[in-house]
Amino acid sequence: MKKLTHILSLLLALFQFTVLGQSSKSPNLSTANLRTEYKTNPIGMGEMQPRLNWELLSNHKDVMQSAYHIRVAASGADLKSGKKLLWDSGKITSDQSNQVVYGGQPLKPRQRCYWQVRVWDNKGNNSGWSELAFWEMGLLLPNEWSATWISPNWEEDSTHSQPSPMLRKSFRLNGEIKSARLYATSHGLYRAEINGKKVGDELFTPGWTSYHKRLQYQTFDVTQFLQNGENAIGVLLGDGWWRGNLGWGGNRNTYGSKLALLMQLEITYKNGKTQRIMTDGSWKAETGPIIESDIYNGEIYNAQFEKPNWTKPSFDDHDWRPVKTASLDKANLVEPIGPPVKKIQEIKPIKIIHTPADETVFDFGQNMVGWVRLKVKGNAGTTIKLQHAEVLDKAGNFYIENMRAALTRLQYTLKGTGEETYEPHFTFMGFRYVKVEGFPGELTLDNLTGIVIHSDLEKSGGFECSNPLVNQLQSNIQWGQKGNFLDVPTDCPQRDERLGWTGDAQAFSRTANFNYDCAAFYTKWLADVALDQGDNGNVPFVVPNCIKPFDPRSKMAGGSTGWADVATILPWNTYLAFGDKRLLERQYESMKAWVAFMEKEAGDDHVWDTGFHFGDWLFYSVNNDNSGVSAITDKYFLTQAFFAHSTDLVRRAAEVLGKKEDLAYYTELLKKVKTAFNHEHVTPSGRLSSSTQTAYVIALQFDLLPENLRQQAANRLVENIRRYDNHITTGFLGTPYINHVLSRFGHPDVAYELLMQESYPSWLYPVKMGATTIWERWDGIKPDSTFEEASMNSFNHYAYGAIGDWLYRTVAGIDIDEQQPGYKHIIIKPQPGGKLTYAKAWHESPCGKIESGWKLDNKLLNVTLTIPANTSATLILPKAKVEGIKELKTGNGIHRFSQKGEDVEIELGSGTYSFQYPMG
């Protein structure tokens, strides 16, 4: 009877599949957040085998995907009908919903692909087909470009900023338009308009890459911009990173001294015909209201020189000058990988200050990155000057010395035609305060609005606890990330620097991946890390590398330990957070090359003690340190330690990628490097050659010491912290790991003491001093309200914000299982402490939203968590007894539990849970 029932069930399922096109759809299971290469419905893609991702939603517990079915077609109609498919995966028995590689017909330039997915779960439910998603390919090959590079045809003085060129062309279209795409790039930055409307909402296009090796182009859907009949397109160019000030010492023209444009507009009519409008010798050029434009120095804009309607077809350009064509490279053109820079939010000022120096200053209440929108009414020729600063000095006056050579100013001259609104075009500022000079009439808070810009990253995490100072610290960390993730991960956004410093990027990467979805952002930047790496494996200090001269064979050109290790640390951390094995594959040769560089420098004894190194940058130090208080860590201690760590990461990558010979090689190399480390820097009794917090932290974090010496090393670390009266003394290299090491080796109480410390040096000291972002130095503003050295004193510098990783992973307890990256299996292990009464965090993983929180009330701990569908978790409840946990039993998502020393370990399926017990 059972066999007959089973046969009938199979026949019914077959009937539903063949007649209805799907098995019975369940309201208990659905899919959401379909993405292609980390993006929602992207156009202009260059990945020939894109990866697809989706999330499962279910109102049941313990839900895992048991199978999926993907289909892809060239149109939505074909997809819905199931005909003419580019790919039909069929039903695949798998729980994979992240990084699923397209396996259909070869993709072609400009091709649009629609896709959908349906899934089955472990409870017999079927989601039914998802809503349609799509991606669209870019031009892919250089020969797809018919356009010609063009430049303004006039003489320029390349030693300083020049008026921004305006290039335009009128053209006629004949017929009803079905679709239109604009493909565009430039030497310098560009902004395009069609028929008087700005194309897209992206800023600082084409973005910043290692320009001579990779130059991005953008794809825009401009169907709605065009009309049957007369049309016009206009493009404004700016110096940007191409030829503007970059770095220090008056360095300009890093990539070239001429601006240029390459643009191709492709129109498809409803009758099937096509037409192309391209940059060529028929375009015209002129200058206009932007007199000067520079990222560091801001913009000078004279509205009296505006050319109204210059991007409309009715504009008369008979007196404009011709352009010149140029035979410039197209082979280096690539489709964008990372997210574009956009306007993200607006901030109103909180007050207007009249300083002791009789200056008028707007306070926005938040150190931010972007610019201000000016609203003004006055006479023609009136000039308003705006200058930007992060802080006021001790007396309450406007302070700009820490901007160094960056002028950080905007200058606007009115045209006098009623209320005028102005925003700059090719510059950005890091600021909280804006000084206003020359304003006609009385200023109000409505005259300025702050425009926050950064790479358009999806927020993917948040942390909150019972201590408001720690909550402000978390806010500062996230604001610091937003301000410095502007197409590349910069060190700071305000002074004459704003470069992709590699050390800052690697130190902060795990925190960054919690706060925001950085997968595509890092993928884009890491491609330039590999390209700018020397043939000998040397990695420059900044990427894209713009420090001249750069000779990768020189030890002074790069290769600083903890900085160049970004080549190994960042790919690995990104792989862990997103399960991105393809990124690991693509960066693998770069990872190996960096280790090979160190191996060669070290020689046969595997001791690396050569070259220039920044060391534990900006560690705690005092002037005239006769008592030895400054926490100086030997730089060659650090070189050896990071040599071992990067070797270990390459070893792990080789294991993940199935490279058995490499795995054996790097396993043996790691042993040799560790042996050399212990011989050079560790005494038989376990003391280190540098007796600093950073030295003990790094040795323990990287597992460099023999097992029998590790606990006493951790105890010596605590002794050091006590010697500094429970203060942190680490710099950029030690800070990311110190609290993790303390927690791991049985001293979470000391980690909490460091977190909660409010006097200098500490994380909360800047918070108490009014910081709204992370400072470059522990004491950027000293206790007496004077400043640290102006030449190196940024108030928006995210490296010390790496403590955020510990807040997520240890305080709230959300952690990655390295054996199942991308949060396929989640470790939840909260560690209450620090007199906190509650803490909670959330993180949007590739599989869905994870939540973990706890609340402590008279030693009664309540832990709540949410595990997304298609994942599982191990929950470790601290200082618990199985018998003391209220209503703990297997079933309803709880697979098993056991006592593990002082903790209770529980294996869980997806769902929301709550556990309560008296904490021992």
Which active-site residues does the annotation give?
Answer: 497, 776
Instruction: Tell me whether strands 43-45 and 133-137 are parallel, antiparallel or unpaired.
Output: parallel
Q: Is 353 left (phi over 0), alpha (psi -120 to 50) or beta?
A: beta
Q: Which neighbouring-strand residues pair with 605?
A: none
CA 394 from centroid of its chain's CA atoms: 34
Contact 231, 531 (CB under 8 A): no
H helices then E strands: how many in the chain? Answer: 16, 46
Indicate if the alpha-carbon torsion angle 604, 609, 612, 616 is positive or negative. positive
Hunting for tokens 């990539």 — which residue is that? 255
Q: Kindly report the number of other CB atoms within 10 A of residue 220's CB atom.
A: 21
Torsion, Cα of 619, 624, 627, 632 (10° steps): 20
Closest-CA residue to 651 (of 639, 641, 640, 661): 661
Contact 460, 515 (CB under 8 A): yes
**Could you give the CA distance from residue 121 to residue 117 in angstroms, rounded to a whole number?**
13
* DSSP 8-state class, residue 106: P
Q: Exposed, middle or buried by CB within 10 Å (0-12, 13-18, 19+), for 444?
A: exposed
**Could you give the CA distance from residue 8 to residue 2 in angstroms, rounded to a whole number?**
10
**Could you give the CA distance from residue 764 to residue 755 in angstroms, rounded to a whole number?**
7
Closest-CA residue to 187 (of 111, 116, 239, 120): 239
**Could you give the CA distance from residue 690 to residue 695 in angstroms, rounded to a whole number?**
6
Closest-CA residue to 170 (of 305, 322, 268, 316): 316
**SS3 for 2?**
helix
Contact 243, 295 (CB under 8 A): no
What are 44's two structure tokens? 């202009």
Closest-CA residue to 804 (of 481, 503, 568): 481
Closest-CA residue to 908 (of 856, 871, 873, 861): 873
What are 241's two structure tokens? 């990173």
Cis status, amide bond into 313, omega within 30 of 0: no
**Could you give the CA distance from residue 98 to residue 579 in angstroms, rounded to a whole number?**
8
Helix/strand/coil (H/E/C) assignment for every residue in 750-771: HHHHHHHCCCCCCCHHHHHCCC
